[in-house]
Chains A and B, each alone.
Chain A
Amino acid sequence: MWFRWESKLVEKRTLTLIALTAVTWALIATSFAAYYYLEHARLQGQFDEKQGLLGALSSNYAALTAKSSFIARDYNTLFGEYQWPTGENCSPLMSEYQALLANLRANYSLALGNSPDLNETYNSLLNETQALANENAVTREEFKELLDQFYKLFTNLVINEWDGLLAGTSVIHVNLLINYSNGAETWFNETAVSPDATLFDVTRQVANITYSYLSSMEPGHIFLSSINGHATGYWVWSYWDETSAQWVFGPVGCDAWTLKDNGVYEWVSS
């Protein structure tokens, strides 16, 4: 009844158009509401995840700082004793140095376990220390060399642990080519790694490798012997230089080369 009365004022055709407009508006508005709801849920999820990471960061911060301060304090004490003019023979300091090295192992066992290259460096330093400890006299130069090596290793371990702590907050993506030089090659595109990862890390992540540790080679001590069982010749690496648009031969050991986002790297069997 009311419709008949209304239609006298507004045409039925006009009412139909208004109704269609309203339906169109309602459909778009509902879709937008769903869009904002889903986006809100997605962003809330991201926020919660970042909040969790931040919480984990702050709770681990104190532990890591305390640990590194503890080792640094002992190291500085020993370094102070070394600096004090006590003669040419540093043998009396060797027991302290060994204790320091043992403390380093105890406090950074996780980082050493996760980084074969640092673990190799530690073992090499330990062997050298034991060899010197068995001698009657340790010169100041020899002891200074031990202190320097310790400090370098300690710094690397601290950086490694900090990087590990921050690694969860972001990732980068790299592309890795393994060229077996027999016509076979494999691409590992968009491989997600932590921003502190080295070429050695990503290679270990995507392939089975064997390697040698060369203490005399610096920076980087790792020399790959085989990738995925392919051990013919030796393996060299290059990175793709976007500016010159060509492969550039790797200037350092693969464990000393940190990766960049969207970087392209290559292993070639020669």
Chain B
Amino acid sequence: MPSLKNPRVVAFIGVLTALCLAIQLAPRPPNVEFTSLFAFAVGCMFGIGIGAFFGGFVMFVNGFFSPWGFAGLNMPFQMAGMALVGLAGGIYKRYMRVQSVGELCAETAVLGAVLTVVYDLITNLGTAFSIYLGMPLPLAVTTALAYGAPFSLLHAVSNAAVFGVIFLPLLRAVNRVVPVGEQVG
């Protein structure tokens, strides 16, 4: 595990955070994003704590400056959801093993889709609390989940592709800059 006492590691995480925020705040199609990938990758490279913090922090800043407007009451849910993705990256590192490139890509693609759906589930709960206030809670949650379904589908498919295609090259590239573990794939 790379140490946070290593200035290269700290600088690298700073750069990654800036890059992630720049992408997050740039105009883009709704629900096509790279933050989940970065949070997962940071968790995978630097451990559960840093991964969770990274995810939560990026969503905190994004909540204020997002091109889709201030996140409001949904912000804690977005932070929790993305922290969970970073945390999952840290857990995944423990179960990662040497396997073929195809297997790894398929595995991360599935994980990307699963984590995205879980993230959307959490943020849709936030939407239920923030937008459908005044409705009975079960109805508010059902409505938020239902009307979020088309976006969730797009989000899950795009993230499956992003995780499946980019995760491994990203890990390899990072390994060259900051050695974070044994070479995979």
- Give A contacts to B, CB under 8 Å: 13, 17, 20-21, 23-24, 27-28, 30-32, 34-35, 37-38
User: Across the interface, do B113 and A27 meet the contact criterion of CB distance under 8 Å?
Assistant: no
Q: What is the bound-complex CA distance between A37 and B142, given in angstroms?
A: 11
How many chain B residues touch A (CB < 8 A): the figure is 19
A27 touches B110 (CB 8 A): no
B152 and A28 within 8 A (CB): yes
Partner among B113, B114, B149 whose Cβ is within 8 Å of the Cβ of A35: B149
Q: Closest residue of chain B to A37, judged by CB?
A: B146
What's the Cα separation between A81 and B175 when bound, in Å?
104
**By the criterion CB–CB under 8 Å, are A27 and B147 in contact?**
no
Contact A34 B156 (CB under 8 A): no
**B117 located at the interface, meaning its Cβ lies under 8 Å from any Cβ of chain A in the complex:** yes
Residues in A whose Cβ lies below 8 Å from that of B153 = 28, 32
- CB pair B152–A31 under 8 Å, yes or no, is yes
If the complex has contacts A28-B117, A28-B156, A35-B150, are A20 and B111 also in contact, measured as CB distance less than 8 A? Answer: yes
CA distance A24 to B121 in the complex (A): 11
The interface residues of chain B lying within 8 Å CB-to-CB of A31 are 145-146, 148-149, 152
Nearest chain-A residue to B147 (Cβ)?
Answer: A35
Q: Nearest CB to that of B148 among chain A residues?
A: A31
Sampled A-B contacts (23; CB under 8 Å): A13-B107, A17-B106, A17-B107, A17-B110, A20-B110, A20-B111, A20-B114, A21-B113, A21-B114, A23-B114, A24-B117, A28-B149, A28-B152, A28-B153, A31-B146, A32-B146, A32-B150, A34-B142, A35-B147, A35-B149, A37-B146, A38-B146, A38-B147
Q: Quick one: which of B111, B117, B142, B150 contacts A27, CB cutoff 8 A?
A: B117
Collect the chain B residues with CB atoms within 8 Å of residue A34's CB.
Answer: 142, 145-146, 149
Given contacts A20-B110, A20-B111, A21-B110, contact A27 B121 (CB under 8 A): yes
Inside 8 A of B31's CB, which chain A residues have their CB?
none
B140-180 contact mask (Cβ, 8 Å, vs A): 1 or 0: 00110111111011001000000000000000000000000
Q: Given A27-B117, A27-B121: A32 and B149 within 8 A (CB)?
A: yes
Q: Which residues of A contact B146 (CB under 8 A)?
A: 31-32, 34-35, 37-38
Q: Bound state CA distance, A30 and B117, in angstroms?
A: 12
Cβ–Cβ < 8 Å partners of B107 in chain A: 13, 17
Q: Mark B119-154, 1 if CB is under 8 A from A, else 0.
A: 001000000000000000000001101111110110
Nearest A residue (CB) for B116: A24
CB nearest to B160 among chain A residues:
A24
Q: How far is the CA of A31 from the CA of B110 in the complex (A)?
A: 19
Query: Do B147 and A24 touch (CB < 8 A)?
Result: no
Do B117 and A38 touch across chains, with their CB atoms under 8 A apart? no
In the assembled complex, the CB of B110 is this many whole angstroms from the nearest CB of chain A, namely 5
Min C-beta distance of B172 to chain A, whole Å: 22
Q: Is the CB of B156 within 8 A of A24?
A: yes
Q: Which residue of B lies closest to A17 (CB)?
A: B110
Chain B residues closer than 8 Å to A13, beta-carbon distance: 107
Give the residues in chain A near B142, CB-CB below 8 Å.
Answer: 34, 38
